[in-house]
Chains A and B, each alone.
Chain A
């Protein structure tokens, strides 16, 4: 069905309003009594929205802001399709299931199990479903043993994105936050997590790609410690991996890193299609290693669209277009294309890290530190293989160096954020998570849209700002920028 059919089915609605008239918009808070012609409305809204920021300069967000022309075409053609209506849109549903298969393969789902999963509106919904499934399994086994099941808790680092805390609060699960350590990149140390675990713990969430510093938490170590715990106490604690960003970076940049279903204790993984899955806002994924981890109580059977269908998402109706766009990316990029993009993002992030670390800043993220020596690679065109460096997201988290702060005690780090804003860049400055909260972090997310040229501009601007705050009249820039 073509959306382009220009039959205006509303010809009788706006007949009395002249086409070049003025928008009938008496006040901004009440629905106008009569409508205005489409063209006028379009122009009005188009102009209002032009004041919104340019996404390319938004270095605060992880969310993808550019798709190519054909992907947009596909998006529009499928804009009116509702994914839940599989009777009506069987192909959209089939593409959805193929995405699940591909992602399952990417995350090394066991061949002998039956991986199960679903598209969601984003990682928030995905994490909630993962958490809910863990909660349900725990409740059922407690009921079987005749034990109290009203006081579940869940364990994760204080660096967690708000969705994890939301899950806990909305679903009446006690959140046990493990304070992070500055020394290990402001992420949860699995050893620290153990003390928070007891018989009421439904699971541990390990974050692959902290939003604060981009660091990966250690899934394998957490699993090993939980194995030891199980031997000692009998408690069998599952792991959910929050791969909102990391699950679409690690498979391509760090293929030997065991964080996915290769770790047997990992029961579910979430990711955002709209971060490094490279789709526009509105898409997440959650997968379970096997259907047995999704309790049947969480699966609803319904009939009211004309055939029997099963749904296990928070949302019922959902647009099919983002899922089709995800498949477009899978076909258009392939494994190789995603790998190239991840390599490029990490390369640009390393360059930025190296420059900043050599000047007025201390870099807290680690993707520019070599695994063997922990040293920083010394030139722009160094080794391009990400596996030679500490794994992490293409994110640069930095702060003013101690030396700079000693020499310039009057300078507040948030001024960096403000002055960069003046130049058009959005680089957020915020407090580190609990455990390191006397520190403030500036963060740049290096997405696909931040290419080499823009990167040079960014570097120049950051250094410019730092130096101008020192009261210097002319900035002196490092030689390797030219």
Chain B
């Protein structure tokens, strides 16, 4: 720490110049996290940057806005009218999942105690495609993780049938992922629930479901309104989502809701007095900024249901365009949002390159996402078997490196346990990925794949790639 300080303007300039070197978020196709809000939202954020959400006495209006967000989300996720939905803002989906998991663990412990049974060996079941937060929950909270290996055939997600063998009397619950980070697929909440109903009828075990809707819970209500994944499924006790992914808020916001307050054990709710009045808190974090919550409400009012729907449609449309361009050339696309529900085939309207660029994908009947397999606007792809046969020297990670040289961040990583011999390239199609940028991306991806096809100058590229610092 410097002994003596710098004037504000100098400190600002120094840090401003340094941080300008950070990447341009527009070309970051690896991240699900949102990076743009309208100017008025920015203004509101600045005005409320100094407000602490936990201080309800001091900032009651911010507290009210928080509670209204909970109501709106509860309504969006079809919370039962006769229950009392309860929830909270969090720092992100990690904290939200941990609270959901903790509530399930607590309920299970209490039930075991009542039955006079051992309650020191809880376990939780979810797919090997889970984002790290789920494993963190298990490891940090001393719950045994039982990972269900995924299947390549069903899009690298957990098959509910496979989950059953991992469940026993120590299972606190099953987490079903609405929007796998690997391929964007939705796991089947309804099927999992049905199988658990049957399990209960057979064995008496009553296993609840928590839905990890980090991304999917802000896509499905708008794009797939008839898909039953939310509180319409009675076995779903809690849902988490990220405000800062498809909730379209800056980093720093998540949400978790329970279908009814009875699912949040009172032991997890703390009463405190030290700010001057009695308050209740049931989050991991105490102080938290009010600004992201206000920004979320800004979005709810500024976009409305219709606006979120338009954006989801647009993202899915762009993702379909990319999927089709890739699937018809050098790649195999592993995500499914471009395959029609009825036929499993790609939409017939654009198998040739030219039609993709000629007039944009038409916005009429083919634009309805419900005609296609539901999922996130994510394109997961790999080099096709044909390409690999013809170009055995090409490593898929070079696609990532060479796209990086063009400014794009497109990650390449191993598929989850159950399909580990496969590598996946993934593009997350967010609101900021416009049609123009999408076209550029398609041209660049195809360009890179072609340039790697047995060109004699290729061996020179490798040392060049490793010397370049990004």
**Chain A contact residues, CB within 8 Å of chain B:** 1, 3-4, 6, 8-10, 12-14, 23-25, 28-39, 41-42, 44-46, 48-53, 55, 58, 60-61, 63-83, 85, 87-92, 95, 102, 105-106, 121-125, 128, 132, 150, 161-163, 165-166, 169-172, 211-212, 272, 274, 280-282, 297-298, 300, 302-307, 311, 314-320, 324, 327-328, 330-337, 417, 426-431
- The complex places the Cα of A8 from the Cα of B41 at a distance, in Å, of 12
- The complex places the Cα of A304 from the Cα of B414 at a distance, in Å, of 9
Min CB gap A66→B, angstroms: 7
Of B51-59, B187-195, B445-453, the one with at least 4 CB within 8 A of chain A: B51-59
- The complex places the Cα of A462 from the Cα of B76 at a distance, in Å, of 49
Q: Does B155 contact A (CB under 8 A)?
A: no
Q: Does B33 contact A (CB under 8 A)?
A: yes
- In the complex, chain B residues 397-422 whose Cβ is within 8 Å of any chain A Cβ: 400, 409-414
With beta carbons under 8 angstroms apart, the residue of B52, B60, B98 that contacts A61 is B52
- The complex places the Cα of A44 from the Cα of B297 at a distance, in Å, of 11
Q: Please tell me if the beta carbons of A77 and B19 are within 8 angstroms of each other in the complex.
A: yes
Q: Write out the residue numbers on chain A whose beta carbons fall within 8 Å of the beta carbon of B270.
A: 162, 165-166, 169
Q: Write out the residue numbers on chain A whose beta carbons fall within 8 Å of the beta carbon of B252.
A: 282, 317-319
* 24 A-B pairs (CB sep. < 8 Å): A23-B301, A29-B68, A34-B304, A44-B301, A49-B44, A61-B52, A76-B45, A80-B34, A80-B35, A81-B25, A88-B23, A88-B30, A88-B31, A132-B140, A281-B288, A311-B132, A314-B98, A314-B284, A315-B92, A315-B94, A330-B2, A332-B6, A332-B8, A334-B6
Q: Write out the residue numbers on chain B whose beta carbons fall within 8 Å of the beta carbon of A128.
A: 284
Q: Write out the residue numbers on chain B whose beta carbons fall within 8 Å of the beta carbon of A121.
A: 91, 95, 285, 288
Q: Write out the residue numbers on chain B whose beta carbons fall within 8 Å of the beta carbon of A74.
A: 12, 15-16, 19
Min CB gap A4→B, angstroms: 8
Q: Please tell me if the beta carbons of A88 and B409 are within 8 angstroms of each other in the complex.
A: yes
When C-beta atoms are compared, the residue in chain A nearest to B13 turns out to be A70
Q: Please tell me if the beta carbons of A32 and B304 are within 8 angstroms of each other in the complex.
A: yes
User: When A51-B61, A52-B62, A60-B58 are in contact, do A281 and B40 touch as well, CB less than 8 Å?
Assistant: no
With beta carbons under 8 angstroms apart, the residue of B23, B47, B49, B91 that contacts A89 is B23
**Chain B contact residues, CB within 8 Å of chain A:** 1-9, 11-12, 14-16, 18-26, 28, 30-31, 33-53, 55, 57-62, 64-65, 68, 71-72, 75-76, 91-95, 98, 102, 120, 131-133, 135-136, 139-142, 181-182, 242, 244, 250-252, 267-268, 270, 272-277, 281, 284-290, 294, 297-298, 300-307, 310-311, 400, 409-414, 431-432, 434
- The complex places the Cα of A29 from the Cα of B349 at a distance, in Å, of 42
Min CB gap B132→A, angstroms: 5
Q: Write out the residue numbers on chain A whose beta carbons fall within 8 Å of the beta carbon of B38.
A: 8, 10, 38
Q: Write out the residue numbers on chain A whose beta carbons fall within 8 Å of the beta carbon of B37.
A: 80
Min CB gap B266→A, angstroms: 11
Q: Please tell me if the beta carbons of A32 and B305 are within 8 angstroms of each other in the complex.
A: yes
- The complex places the Cα of A61 from the Cα of B59 at a distance, in Å, of 12
When C-beta atoms are compared, the residue in chain B nearest to A211 turns out to be B274
User: When A89-B22, A121-B285 are in contact, do A429 and B276 touch as well, CB less than 8 Å?
Assistant: yes
Q: Please tell me if the beta carbons of B40 and A39 are within 8 angstroms of each other in the complex.
A: yes
- The complex places the Cα of A11 from the Cα of B290 at a distance, in Å, of 28
- The complex places the Cα of A315 from the Cα of B214 at a distance, in Å, of 13
Q: Write out the residue numbers on chain A whose beta carbons fall within 8 Å of the beta carbon of B303.
A: 10, 13, 35
Q: Please tell me if the beta carbons of A304 and B412 are within 8 angstroms of each other in the complex.
A: no
Q: Please tell me if the beta carbons of B287 and A63 are within 8 angstroms of each other in the complex.
A: yes
Q: Write out the residue numbers on chain B whose beta carbons fall within 8 Å of the beta carbon of A162.
A: 270, 272, 274, 281, 286
Q: Please tell me if the beta carbons of A274 and B1 are within 8 angstroms of each other in the complex.
A: no
With beta carbons under 8 angstroms apart, the residue of B24, B41, B133, B310 that contacts A38 is B41
When C-beta atoms are compared, the residue in chain B nearest to A171 turns out to be B141
Q: Write out the residue numbers on chain A whose beta carbons fall within 8 Å of the beta carbon of B413.
A: 303-304, 306
Q: Please tell me if the beta carbons of B44 and A306 are within 8 angstroms of each other in the complex.
A: no
Min CB gap B150→A, angstroms: 14
Q: Please tell me if the beta carbons of A281 and B52 are within 8 angstroms of each other in the complex.
A: yes
Q: Please tell me if the beta carbons of A300 and B301 are within 8 angstroms of each other in the complex.
A: no
Q: Please tell me if the beta carbons of B18 and A95 are within 8 angstroms of each other in the complex.
A: yes
Q: Please tell me if the beta carbons of A81 and B50 are within 8 angstroms of each other in the complex.
A: no
Q: Please tell me if the beta carbons of A91 and B304 are within 8 angstroms of each other in the complex.
A: no
Q: Please tell me if the beta carbons of B274 and A161 are within 8 angstroms of each other in the complex.
A: yes
Q: Write out the residue numbers on chain B whose beta carbons fall within 8 Å of the beta carbon of A302.
A: 132
Q: Please tell me if the beta carbons of B71 and A122 are within 8 angstroms of each other in the complex.
A: no
When C-beta atoms are compared, the residue in chain B nearest to A78 turns out to be B19
Q: Write out the residue numbers on chain A whose beta carbons fall within 8 Å of the beta carbon of B44.
A: 42, 45-46, 49
User: When A297-B139, A316-B93, A318-B91 are in contact, do A33 and B71 touch as well, CB less than 8 Å?
Assistant: no
When C-beta atoms are compared, the residue in chain B nearest to A105 turns out to be B1
With beta carbons under 8 angstroms apart, the residue of B60, B244, B307, B434 that contacts A51 is B60
When C-beta atoms are compared, the residue in chain A nearest to B426 turns out to be A304
- The complex places the Cα of A70 from the Cα of B11 at a distance, in Å, of 8
- The complex places the Cα of A24 from the Cα of B288 at a distance, in Å, of 29
- The complex places the Cα of A119 from the Cα of B69 at a distance, in Å, of 27
Q: Write out the residue numbers on chain A whose beta carbons fall within 8 Å of the beta carbon of B284.
A: 124-125, 128, 166, 170, 314
With beta carbons under 8 angstroms apart, the residue of B5, B41, B95, B304 that contacts A33 is B304
Q: Write out the residue numbers on chain A whose beta carbons fall within 8 Å of the beta carbon of B98.
A: 314
With beta carbons under 8 angstroms apart, the residue of B28, B36, B65, B306 that contacts A35 is B306
Q: Write out the residue numbers on chain B whose beta carbons fall within 8 Å of the beta carbon of A427.
A: 276
Q: Please tell me if the beta carbons of A334 and B1 are within 8 angstroms of each other in the complex.
A: yes
Q: Please tell me if the beta carbons of A324 and B19 are within 8 angstroms of each other in the complex.
A: yes
3 interchain residue pairs of minimum CB distance: A306-B411, A428-B276, A70-B12
Q: Write out the residue numbers on chain B whose beta carbons fall within 8 Å of the beta carbon of A124.
A: 284-287
Min CB gap B264→A, angstroms: 13
- The complex places the Cα of A437 from the Cα of B271 at a distance, in Å, of 16
Q: Write out the residue numbers on chain B whose beta carbons fall within 8 Å of the beta carbon of A95.
A: 15, 18-19
With beta carbons under 8 angstroms apart, the residue of B46, B59, B95, B182 that contacts A314 is B95
When C-beta atoms are compared, the residue in chain A nearest to B31 turns out to be A85
Q: Write out the residue numbers on chain A whose beta carbons fall within 8 Å of the beta carbon of B310.
A: 12-13
Q: Please tell me if the beta carbons of B305 and A31 are within 8 angstroms of each other in the complex.
A: yes
When C-beta atoms are compared, the residue in chain B nearest to A98 turns out to be B1
Q: Please tell me if the beta carbons of B51 and A52 are within 8 angstroms of each other in the complex.
A: yes
When C-beta atoms are compared, the residue in chain A nearest to B50 turns out to be A65
User: When A51-B61, A85-B31 are in contact, do A331 and B43 touch as well, CB less than 8 Å?
Assistant: no
Q: Write out the residue numbers on chain A whose beta carbons fall within 8 Å of the beta carbon of B6.
A: 331-332, 334
- The complex places the Cα of A407 from the Cα of B169 at a distance, in Å, of 65
Q: Write out the residue numbers on chain B whose beta carbons fall within 8 Å of the beta carbon of A327.
A: 15
- The complex places the Cα of A327 from the Cα of B2 at a distance, in Å, of 11
Min CB gap B241→A, angstroms: 13
Q: Please tell me if the beta carbons of A38 and B71 are within 8 angstroms of each other in the complex.
A: no
- The complex places the Cα of A324 from the Cα of B16 at a distance, in Å, of 10
- The complex places the Cα of A431 from the Cα of B71 at a distance, in Å, of 34
Q: Please tell me if the beta carbons of B275 and A60 are within 8 angstroms of each other in the complex.
A: yes
Q: Write out the residue numbers on chain A whose beta carbons fall within 8 Å of the beta carbon of B141.
A: 170-172
Q: Write out the residue numbers on chain B whose beta carbons fall within 8 Å of the beta carbon of A71.
A: 8, 12
Q: Please tell me if the beta carbons of B19 and A60 are within 8 angstroms of each other in the complex.
A: no
Min CB gap A15→B, angstroms: 11
Given A51-B60, A90-B23, A281-B290, 15 more A-B residue pairs with CB atoms under 8 Å apart are A36-B304, A46-B43, A50-B61, A53-B57, A72-B46, A79-B45, A88-B28, A170-B141, A171-B140, A281-B289, A304-B131, A305-B411, A318-B91, A332-B11, A428-B274
When C-beta atoms are compared, the residue in chain B nearest to A106 turns out to be B1
- The complex places the Cα of A12 from the Cα of B298 at a distance, in Å, of 18
Q: Please tell me if the beta carbons of A315 and B268 are within 8 angstroms of each other in the complex.
A: no
When C-beta atoms are compared, the residue in chain A nearest to B141 turns out to be A171
Q: Please tell me if the beta carbons of B62 and A49 are within 8 angstroms of each other in the complex.
A: yes
Min CB gap A317→B, angstroms: 5
